[in-house]
Structure 1
């Protein structure tokens, strides 16, 4: 997993979350 350090930037958090979902769709499905 890739961890990002973001300083209170909601839009960046959402964008990185979407990117992680596309990079690791299988891992996200397993965690649900």
Structure 2
């Protein structure tokens, strides 16, 4: 993910965004399982 750093993103910002996306997908997955 070094190409993100060239856009002005710091390492922590990339990691935080990755975790936010991962958590959102996890919540959506759990919600879809509960709806069935």
TM-score normalised according to structure 1 size: 0.48
Say which structure, 1 or 2, has more relative contact order (CA 8 Å, 6+ apart).
1
Q: Which has the higher helix share?
A: 2
